[in-house]
Amino acid sequence: MHRLPQKIKQLAIPGSIFRSTISKFQEIGEQQKEAIAYWTGTLNQEKGEIRNVIFADSYNEFENEKLFARVPLQTTFQIGKLIHERNEVLFAQIHSHPFEAFHSFTDDNYPISHKLGFLSIIVPFFGKNVSCLTDCKVYEYEGNAK
């Protein structure tokens, strides 16, 4: 089991993982539906490296529409089990919105992780014209729904 530091100072996100995530979000967005994915990887002291992406739509119970996406509790457990079996750390939840990127009430109050420092990344316009992380909004969980 990983003992997480108080603060991860550096997180490497390979371009291939970013591009595959955005490509999948664009594909789902063509159906006018939101998408959710999770970035997992390894941790070496205060440096993390994203190694895998888990797409919520690969689970039958996942629900998504234009203005919402929901990962049921049982699916959340399955995702957690997979991360544990890989001996990895969950670093970020990344999801798309149909319009601009912002953190909603639901995003604030119901992240998959309440670990301080957990990242929530919002991809605007279902990923259309998104080519790098600076096109998205990145939020760090600070506790107490902040």
Which tens digits make up the pLDDT trace of 17-38?
Answer: 999 999 999 999 999 999 999 9
Q: What is the domain range of residue 115? A: 19-97+104-140
Is 46 a residue whose pLDDT tops 90? no
The 8-class DSSP code of residue 122 comes to E
pLDDT at 5: 57
Distance, first Cα to last Cα, the chain: 27
CATH of the domain at 133: 3.40.140.10
Task: Tell me, yes or no, whether 146 lies in a domain.
Answer: no
User: What backbone torsions phi and psi does residue 138 show, to the nearest 5 degrees?
Assistant: -120, 125
Q: Which residue has the tokens 């089991």?
A: 1
Tokens of 55: 């797409």
pTM listed for this prediction:
0.89
Strand, helix or coil at 46? coil
The answer to whether position 70 is within a domain reads: yes
Please count the structural domains in the chain.
1
Residue 130 lies in a domain: yes
Query: How far apart, in whole angstroms, are the C-alpha atoms of residue 76 and residue 90?
Result: 12
* pLDDT band of 84, cuts 50, 70, 90: very high
> Does residue 13 belong to any structural domain of this protein?
no
